[in-house]
Amino acid sequence: MGAENLSSSQARDRLAPVTAHAVDTVTDLMQTAGPGRHLLTTVVRPSNAEPVTAYAWFDVIGEGTDALWSGVFADAAAVAEVVALAFIVDKGSVVLGTTSPTGEETVRGWVVDSHTLRPLTAEQLRHAFHEALGPMTPSVTYQTAFRVPSAAAA
């Protein structure tokens, strides 16, 4: 039994909700990040393929609905594309590094779990970074990630 051969319009129809969900998720994550300079990085490791990575720098001044943020739209779009791929293959991670207005450096992370971003605890993130990169700079504080409002399954 072979794979179903989809027309390009059928493929677009199937990808559209996943892509919209990824864009909403990344937008909510960026809007919930809080004040400071942020680096949002996402990685997907599909089976039998090279990892796919994207990152975006953005700044947030203020909080809540009055917050102003700036960044490069194309970079944020690339992060959303990789998150969409992560939702499709159900593998991937998102890491948010932040330098607060006071200079404090923090890291928070999520893993893709059934088309959602599942927040990692500070200890889970510390362990993952230690295994992947070795001892980290003592000035970095690992924080338990916040729940991303639109990260519920599409």
**Percentage of residues in the chain having pLDDT higher than 70:** 83
The predicted model scores a pTM of 0.85
What pLDDT does residue 112 have?
93
Q: Is the pLDDT of residue 109 over 50?
A: yes
What pLDDT does residue 154 have?
47
Give 13-32 pLDDT, tens digit per residue: 778 889 999 999 998 899 88
Per the prediction, the chain carries an average pLDDT of: 86
What pLDDT does residue 2 have?
47
Provide the pairing of β-strand 68-71 with 140-142: unpaired
Q: Is the pLDDT of residue 40 over 80?
A: yes
Number of residues in the chain: 154
What pLDDT does residue 64 have?
74
Closest alpha carbon to 94 in 77, 75, 117, 72: 117
Q: What is the mean pLDDT of residues 105-129?
A: 91
Closest alpha carbon to 54 in 65, 38, 70, 43: 43
Q: Is the pLDDT of residue 97 over 90?
A: yes
